[in-house]
């Protein structure tokens, strides 16, 4: 069929070519759960307690509970307060969340008794600025922090070590890696652990793998924490993920029993993406995940849609819902590693807007994966931010006087850390009789940007080496010894100090990180005490002086020169 084509205006042409129009957008479809947080198909809040047990939850009688209802009713919700707090009008709770005069403690007390539908009813009343106001008060740790991905498209351990060192130096409190070829994991996890401790002492590392393997690396002390413990909001999707709330709760205890920090992962959109949202909104299902995590007694949650960000990102109000899910995790008194960790948009403007609801109020980890490698090397399928955004990030911190956890570092320091990380890894590989790292590779690491800038590795030899790490039972302690024997005394000492933290269990408490003096900072000794203007975390003093520095800042005394 032919139609007469109207000529298009030049403006339309220009708009058509804007990157934002490469993004995908869809209409809502509430019956299938393709709706952010406002759906007629979500249950109405209700709760009834009999003989110390919840017998009705959000309109469902106990006999009809699925396993999520059962777990939430029996483990997450405070039975003693449930009827009382659920009777508080939602608008009162929503206003208290925003009101600096209402304390975080009082709100967590209320939160402990609420049902999923009631929590949804409360946050539905809040616009995105109110959600940010509430996040500022409700995040558990007073000092915000950030987390990075350090991966390689070629699983090149030298690249991972050098980028980990640079990332640590720039300020990330946690570093995460994963693999293209899973069998590479032991070598890459070692590289991350060694490189991270070169940049600054006290950085925590993890390697995202299938649950059992991830736990095994953690038990050996090759990684310091874990995060890829996915939970889902419907029973059917949970089972498709080959787990239940009980298996995940057991896993949480298994990690803690080895002194290893751990958080769960969930996010809006995962259920509809996996094809069984049971007709509920994305946020309602995410609230069930948050309460499941709470009930399991895990200290924290990575949420904010995570790898499913394209789903809420495509529907109206989706990014508001993502901000709301982070807020709810914090309100439920969990550490929140708040997303911003997946390729999200072709539009730089939209990428930034998606970030601000976490960056401005501050969260426990603003990104749960800022790509500390170029995005093509990001084996988590790319992040919302990558190495090419470092200067933009630092400038936004300086413009708005907010602490996003990073800082500008001068090139000589960066090159020195990259070289030291590569040399330390070279020495560790030699000590452990792993495939050789050449001087040429070390030199490449100093000046490289991405994996294509490194000499090719012999992959088969590396995989044999990786297998031997597992077969020989190499542990974190072996890495300490190898570093010490080869003269990297300070790196060895840093790693030993991180490993020693397992014995104390301090990193198991909510939102714990290590300062560069190795002092654990958690929601106990650094509890968020925000109570309005002039209180809570303020970017000032020495830290603010650090963040005033950028790559190019003109000297006030001599306009011809730059300070940095």
Window 113-142: residues binding another protein (CB under 8 A): none
State the nearest-atom distance from the C-beta of 520 to another protein, in Å.
Answer: 4
Q: For helices 489-504 and 185-199, what crossing angle results, to 10°?
A: 100
Question: Which of 42, 69, 136, 149 is an active site residue?
Answer: 149
Q: For 209, which DSSP code?
A: -
**For strand 513-514 and strand 520-521, is the pairing parallel, antiparallel, or unpaired?**
antiparallel
Q: Give whichever of 125 and 527 is closer to another protein, judged by the CB atom.
A: 527
Q: What is the largest CA-CA distance in the chain?
A: 79
Identified binder of another protein from the candidate list 1, 14, 51, 503, rule CB under 8 A: 503
Q: At what angle do helices 282-296 and 116-123 cross, to 10 degrees?
A: 130
Name 370's bridge partners: 148
Nearest to 304 by CA among 349, 241, 246, 369: 369
Considering the candidates 130, 174, 176, 335, report the single residue annotated as catalytic.
176
Using rule CB under 8 A, residue 89 touches another protein: no
Per the annotation, the verdict on 302 as an active-site residue is yes
Q: Which ranges of 99-156 would DSSP assign to H, the alpha helix?
A: 104-111, 116-123, 128-138
Binding to another protein (CB under 8 A) within 296-335 occurs at 296-299, 333
Name the nearest CA neighbour of 374 among 515, 514, 167, 209: 167
Contact 141, 526 (CB under 8 A): yes
Of 126 and 514, nearer to another protein (C-beta) is: 514
Q: Using CB under 8 A, which of the segments 85-93, 289-297, 400-408, 415-423 binds another protein?
A: 289-297
CA separation, residue 178 to residues 153, 232, 467, 531 (Å): 10, 21, 16, 39
- All residues at 6 or more sequence positions from 294 whose CB lies less than 8 Å from its CB, including other chains: 75, 76, 332, 333, 334
Q: Which residues between 457 and 486 bind another protein (CB under 8 A)?
A: 475-477, 480-481, 484
Give catalytic status of residue 552 as yes or no. Answer: no
Determine which one of 227, 235, 286, 478 is catalytic. Answer: 227
Query: Is 358 an annotated catalytic residue?
Result: no
User: Per rule CB under 8 A, is residue 525 in the interface with another protein?
Assistant: yes
443 binds another protein (CB under 8 A): no
Candidate ranges 302-310, 451-459, 514-522, 547-555; the one touching another protein (CB under 8 A):
514-522
Binding track, positions 192-231, relative to another protein; x by CB under 8 A: -------------------xx--xx--xxx----------
Tell me how far, at minimum, the Cβ of 227 lies from another protein, in Å.
Answer: 16
Taking a C-beta distance cutoff of 8 angstroms, is the pair 232, 211 a contact?
no
Give the closest residue to 383 by CA, choosing from 56, 79, 151: 151
Among 86, 115, 197, 501, binds another protein (CB under 8 A): 501
Instruction: For residue 227, indicate whether it is catalytic.
Output: yes
Catalytic residue selected from 90, 136, 147, 383: 147
Token pair listed for 57: 């939850």
Angle, CA 248 vertex, CA 242 and CA 254 arms, to 5°: 125
- Among the residue ranges 150-158, 177-185, 266-274, 290-298, the one whose residues contact another protein (CB under 8 A): 290-298
Q: Which of 270, 368, 426, 501 is catalytic?
A: 368
User: Among residues 49, 72, 76, 122, which is the contact residue for another protein, using CB under 8 A?
Assistant: 76
Measured between alpha carbons, how far apart are the two ends of the chain, in Å? 63
Question: Is the separation of the CB atoms in 202 and 174 below 8 Å?
Answer: no
Token pair 């560069």 in the structure block, residue: 516
Residues 58, 53: Cα–Cα separation, whole Å: 14
Confirm or reject binding of residue 55 to another protein (CB under 8 A): no
By C-beta, is 294 or 418 nearer to another protein?
A: 294
Task: Please give the size of the binding site for another protein, defined by CB under 8 A.
Answer: 72
431 binds another protein (CB under 8 A): no
Specify the stretch interacting with another protein by CB under 8 A; choose among 46-54, 116-124, 234-242, 281-289.
234-242
Binding mask 239-268 for another protein (x = CB under 8 A): x--xxx-xx-xxxxxxxxxxx---------
* Distance, C-alpha 360 to centroid of its chain: 16
Candidates 44-52, 170-178, 506-514, 540-548: pick the segment binding another protein (CB under 8 A). 506-514
Return the active site residues.
Answer: 147, 149, 176, 227, 302, 341, 368
């Amino acid at each position: 069929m032919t139609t007469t084509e109207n000529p298009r205006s030049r403006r339309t042409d220009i708009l058509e070519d804007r990157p934002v129009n490469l993004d995908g957008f869809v209409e809502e479809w509430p019956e299938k759960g393709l709706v952010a947080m406002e759906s007629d198909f979500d249950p109405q809040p209700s709760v009834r307690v009999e003989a110390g047990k919840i017998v009705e939850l959000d309109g469902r009688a106990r006999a009809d509970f699925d396993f999520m209802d059962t777990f939430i009713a029996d483990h997450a919700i405070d039975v003693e307060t449930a009827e009382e707090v659920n009777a508080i009008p939602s608008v009162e709770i929503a206003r208290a969340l925003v009101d600096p005069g209402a304390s975080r403690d009082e709100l967590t007390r209320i939160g402990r008794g609420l049902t999923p539908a009631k929590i949804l009813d409360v946050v539905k009343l809040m616009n995105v600025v109110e959600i940010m106001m509430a996040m500022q008060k409700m995040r558990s740790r007073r000092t915000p922090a950030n987390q990075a991905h350090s991966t390689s498209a070629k699983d090149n351990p030298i690249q991972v070590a050098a980028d980990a060192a640079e990332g640590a130096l720039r300020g990330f409190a946690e570093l995460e890696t994963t693999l293209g070829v899973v069998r590479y994991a032991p070598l890459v996890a070692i590289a991350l652990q060694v490189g991270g401790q070169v940049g600054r002492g006290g950085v925590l590392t993890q390697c995202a793998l299938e649950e059992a393997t991830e736990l095994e690396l953690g038990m050996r002390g090759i990684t310091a924490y874990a995060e890829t413990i996915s939970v889902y909001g419907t029973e059917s999707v949970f089972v498709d993920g080959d787990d239940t709330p009980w298996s995940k709760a057991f896993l949480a205890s298994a990690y803690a029993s080895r002194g290893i920090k751990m958080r769960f992962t969930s996010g809006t959109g995962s259920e509809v993406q996996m094809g069984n949202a049971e007709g509920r909104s994305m946020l309602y299902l995410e609230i069930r995940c948050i309460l499941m995590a709470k009930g399991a007694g895990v200290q924290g949650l990575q949420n904010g849609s995570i790898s499913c960000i394209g789903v809420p990102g495509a529907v109206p109000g989706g990014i508001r819902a993502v901000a709301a899910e982070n807020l709810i995790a914090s309100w439920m008194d969990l550490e929140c590693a708040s997303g911003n960790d997946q390729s999200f948009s072709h539009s730089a403007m939209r990428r930034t807007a998606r970030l601000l609801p976490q960056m401005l109020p501050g969260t426990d980890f603003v990104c749960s994966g800022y790509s500390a490698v170029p995005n093509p090397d990001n084996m988590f399928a790319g992040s919302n931010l990558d190495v090419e955004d470092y200067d933009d990030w630092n400038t936004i911190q300086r413009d708005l006087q907010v602490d996003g956890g990073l800082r500008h570092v001068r090139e000589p320091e960066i090159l020195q850390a990259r070289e030291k990380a590569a040399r330390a890894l070279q020495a560790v590989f030699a000590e452990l009789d792993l495939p050789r790292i050449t001087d040429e590779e070390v030199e490449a690491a100093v000046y490289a940007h991405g994996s294509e800038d490194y000499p090719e590795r012999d992959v088969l030899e590396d995989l044999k080496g990786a297998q031997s790490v597992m077969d020989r039972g190499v542990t974190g302690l072996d890495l300490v010894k190898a570093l010490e024997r080869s003269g990297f005394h300070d790196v060895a000492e840093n790693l030993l100090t991180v490993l020693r933290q397992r014995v104390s269990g301090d990193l198991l408490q909510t939102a714990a990180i290590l300062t560069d003096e190795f002092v654990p900072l958690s929601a106990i000794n650094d509890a968020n005490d925000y109570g309005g203007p002039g209180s809570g975390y303020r970017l000032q003093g020495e830290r603010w002086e650090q963040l005033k520095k950028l790559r190019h800042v003109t000297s006030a005394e001599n306009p011809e020169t730059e300070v940095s």
